[in-house]
Copies of this chain bind each other. A is one copy, B any other.
Amino acid sequence: MAVSDAGVSTPTAVSKWNLEGEAMCPHRLVLEHVTSRWGVLVLIQLLERPYRFSELRRAIGRVSEKMLTQTLQTLERDGLVHRDAKPVIPPRVDYSLTDLGREAAEQVYALASWTEQRMGEVLKAREVYDAAKAQL
């Protein structure tokens, strides 16, 4: 199986991930938003259905509202998450994935599923690694 199976022609198709000097290239930043600690969880959760703010907070678990807000704003700005604030009292804000966001979320979800499926092999590898280190 070659790289081409991953979606694009060759490895070099991901051009200049490694910008010398200067600032990091923009793609890297988007990737980091998407794969960030809370970004991953938000995207996966929203894949199921739209969520309200504090509903999302409870669903994800241990996330401060500051970080959730920050994550949602970043993803919204990147056009991955849609924010729907209804002008009612008390306030009600629904978050959902955009089409773009759904594409990202599905990829992230695939990766997350992979880690879960292969966890056994990872744990085995760690035992081997740690055992080898220990007997030195």
A interface residues with partner B (beta carbon < 8 Å): 1, 3, 5-8, 11-15, 17-21, 26-27, 30-32, 34-35, 37, 40-41, 44-45, 47-48, 59-62, 76-80, 100, 102-104, 106-119, 121-126, 128-130
B79 touches A44 (CB 8 A): no
Contacts of A48 in B (CB 8 A): 3, 11-12
Measured in the bound complex, the distance between the Cα atoms of B45 and A35 in whole Å is 18
Contacts of A27 in B (CB 8 A): 112, 115-116, 119
Measured in the bound complex, the distance between the Cα atoms of B15 and A45 in whole Å is 11
Contacts of A77 in B (CB 8 A): 125-126, 129-130
B112 touches A31 (CB 8 A): yes
Smallest beta-carbon distance A113→chain B, Å:
4
Contacts of A111 in B (CB 8 A): 31, 34-35, 104, 107-108, 111
Contacts of A104 in B (CB 8 A): 111, 114-115, 118
CB-nearest residue of chain B relative to A102? B1
Contacts of A11 in B (CB 8 A): 44-45, 47-48, 109
